[in-house]
């Protein structure tokens, strides 16, 4: 009496072209065979291969790299989350699964619950574990809408998907003020949820965090680059706010061509 749902394979980190713009699909092999079986057995079919591939192509090759871990086949936590979201989207779009789709629950954490977005208005989002100084408001940045998401260390904001909730609702020309003081996290060991590896490289380490879950930990700069890259992907304008002697923030700002503002004197632009 159960209702089977057949899904195609998820895509790998494989591209059809030298410029890495078109993901390699399995529509002529495994994907085709799965669809044929679904048709023959008259069961719903969700094409995860197609749905996730379109996302990967929008992400670009650099972001797709961290959707996988150690190889081009097995996903990281980030890749698994994307595939899970694709499954939900596929179910929601399938007419035969309307009853199941009606049970889908929207994410609990939404920036729209803090500030209602007016048509055509820009959001300015203060994101970090430091309250942004009022001088930024005086500079005229917060003209159309203001939303503060604060209190979360840098790694925890990514690990707990708080950033994903913001990223998913960003629109072109929104401003994201990224303001993390990671010295506040010195009391955490690398095994704690808030811990990060030092530096700005792509080094990783698998740890058992304070929740008892094995997790791939990245460098402080990597997490910062991820937030900056995600914001730019959505057409938003990221601004890093940090101490003048923060070498990691400075490096990320320079390599990503992102504005860097002095936390102690927001009217001073360190790099742009």
For residue 140, give both structure tokens: 């005229």
First to last CA, the chain: 61
Cα–Cα–Cα angle for 135, 172, 80, rounded to 5 degrees: 105
Contact 171, 234 (CB under 8 A): yes
Identify which of 241, 238, 215 has the alpha carbon closest to the alpha carbon of residue 227: 238
Output the pTM of the full model: 0.82
How many Å apart are CA 227 and CA 57, to the nearest integer? 18
Name the burial class of residue 18, with classes exposed (0-12), middle (13-18) and buried (19+) by CB atoms within 10 angstroms of its CB.
Answer: exposed
Identify the pLDDT of residue 161: 84
Identify the pLDDT of residue 272: 63
For residue 267, pLDDT over 90 is answered with no
Q: How confident is the model at residue 108 (pLDDT cuts 50, 70, 90)?
A: low
How many Å apart are CA 57 and CA 21, to the nearest integer? 6
How many Å apart are CA 186 and CA 17, to the nearest integer? 44
Helices in the chain by DSSP H: which ranges? 30-41, 48-59, 61-65, 77-92, 98-101, 135-138, 154-159, 162-167, 220-233, 247-256
Q: What is the DSSP string of 234-249?
A: TT-EEEEEE-TT-HHH
Q: How confident is the model at residue 190 (pLDDT cuts 50, 70, 90)?
A: very low
Contact 258, 225 (CB under 8 A): no
Mean pLDDT value of segment 58-80: 94
The larger pLDDT score, comparing residue 142 to residue 150, is at: 150
Identify which of 181, 164, 178 has the alpha carbon closest to the alpha carbon of residue 225: 178
How many Å apart are CA 180 and CA 115, to the nearest integer? 22
For residue 95, pLDDT over 60 is answered with yes
For residue 179, give both structure tokens: 């303001």
How many Å apart are CA 151 and CA 81, to the nearest integer? 24
For residue 114, pLDDT over 70 is answered with no
For residue 106, give both structure tokens: 């929207």
Identify the pLDDT of residue 115: 54
Mean pLDDT value of segment 224-233: 96
Which position has the token pair 């061509």? 257
Identify the pLDDT of residue 166: 85
| 237-242 and 259-262 strand pairing | parallel
């Amino acid at each position: 009496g159960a209702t089977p749902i057949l899904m195609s394979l998820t895509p790998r980190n494989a591209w059809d072209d030298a410029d890495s713009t078109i993901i390699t699909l399995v529509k002529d092999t495994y994907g085709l065979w799965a669809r044929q079986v679904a048709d023959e057995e008259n069961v719903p079919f969700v094409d995860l291969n197609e749905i996730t591939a379109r996302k990967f192509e929008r992400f670009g090759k650099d972001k797709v790299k961290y959707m996988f871990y150690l190889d081009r086949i097995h996903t990281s936590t980030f890749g698994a989350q994307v595939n899970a979201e694709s499954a939900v989207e596929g179910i929601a779009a399938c007419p035969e699964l309307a009853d199941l789709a009606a049970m889908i629950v929207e994410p609990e954490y939404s920036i729209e619950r803090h500030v209602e977005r007016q048509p055509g208005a820009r959001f300015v989002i203060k994101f970090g574990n430091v309250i942004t100084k009022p001088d930024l408001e005086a500079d005229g940045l917060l003209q159309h809408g203001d939303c503060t998401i604060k209190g979360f260390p840098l790694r925890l904001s990514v690990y707990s998907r708080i950033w994903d909730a913001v990223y998913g609702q960003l629109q072109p020309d929104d401003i994201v003020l990224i303001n993390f003081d990671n010295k506040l996290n010195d009391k955490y060991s690398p095994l704690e949820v808030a811990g990060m590896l030092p530096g700005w490289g792509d080094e990783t380490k698998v740890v058992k965090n304070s929740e008892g879950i094995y997790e791939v930990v990245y460098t402080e700069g990597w997490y910062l680059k991820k937030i900056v890259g995600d914001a730019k992907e959505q057409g938003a304008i990221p601004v890093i706010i940090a101490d003048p002697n923060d070498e990691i923030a400075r490096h990320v700002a320079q390599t990503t061509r992102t504005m860097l503002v002095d936390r102690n004197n927001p009217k001073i632009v360190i790099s742009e």
